[in-house]
Structure 1
Amino acid sequence: MSRIVLPCSFDDLDVMARTVYGEARGEIPVGQVAVAWCIRTRAEIDLGHDGKPDWWGEGIGGVCLKPFQFSCWLPNDPMFPKIKAAKTSQLADCLKACYAVLVGEAPDPTGGATHYYASSIAVPPWAAGKTPVAVIGAHRFFRLI
């Protein structure tokens, strides 16, 4: 029997699936798993090992909804109204990917990445000069912590 390996409510799972939908809806399944793993990795890391809230949010939902961390949640992003209105049937593949990541059934294809960007955009300043730890589908993944 599978179990969630870190605290996660149904609302957290929904927000995580909507984030993966907004960020990787057209990706191959492993690409959706990779984005979900970035979310999980961030939720598990305690920056500074101090038990205090981290700059990128706390918990699954907090990490996803922290302003400026996932562009699909920005009100002016074209995906924002789509992720808000998406029906469960549209989210099915993303929900499966997120659940598999949360219960530990899907291995981390990113090797612990904390950041990524789509190769269709210009290299963001935070990635300039850095080597990705993985390239999966249309995304480049980085471990910056």
Structure 2
Amino acid sequence: MTVTEQDRDILARTLWGEARGETPAGQVAVAWTIRNRVLDGKANSWWGEGYAGVCQKPYQFSCWNKGDPNFAYLSGAKPIPARELSQARVAADQVIDGKVPDPTGGATHYYALSMRTPPAWAAEAKKTLQLGGHVFFRDVP
């Protein structure tokens, strides 16, 4: 699969929107969840096509929802602090380029521990990792 500069930029922006308060390892884990969706092997995947398609699939990563406070930053209407975006870009590049192993055990989903109630799908999914403020899952029904 060809990865474009736009894919790299959108993945980095998604990491900033979803995991900017996490350590680099936490951002890598979120990026791997996205990569696992990209690499699911299905033509015309439900997840979307490529990194940009997966990240911007409606209602999958809340930071891209137009009503989310992060959206103005991700869309470029407001500037993301350069240092923070740079850290997210490092994690994005490491994952896209296959320079770091998947710490999530094949997760395709996660949720933030800051949520008041875990999503319903988490009850029947296989928990693979808890890292920082996120819990990661695979085999989500």
Q: CA deviation at 1:7?
A: 2.0
Q: Which amino acid aligns with 1:19?
A: T
Alignment map for 1:104-123 (pairs within 5 Å): 104-121=98-115, 122-123=117-118
Residue 94 (structure 1) aligns with:
88
Alignment map for 1:1-145 (pairs within 5 Å): 6-47=1-42, 51=43, 53-84=44-75, 85=78, 86=80, 88-121=82-115, 122-144=117-139
Q: CA deviation at 1:81?
A: 1.2
Distance 2:7 2:126 in 1: 31
Q: CA deviation at 1:9?
A: 0.3
Identity of aligned residues (%): 49
Which structure 1 segments of 5+ residues have no match?
1-5
Using structure 2 for the length normalisation, give the TM-score: 0.90
Distance 1:106 1:127 in 2: 26
CA contact (8 A) 2:125 2:138 kept: no
Q: CA deviation at 1:129?
A: 4.1
CA contact (8 A) 2:125 2:139 kept: no
Using structure 1 for the length normalisation, give the TM-score: 0.87
Task: Provide, for residues 56-105 of structure 1, a one-character-per-residue CA deviation record: whole Å limited to 9, x for no partner.
Answer: 10111100010011000001112111223325443000000010111111
Aligned CA-pair RMSD: 1.5
SS of 2:99's equivalent in the other structure is: coil
Which structure 2 segments of 5+ residues have no match?
none
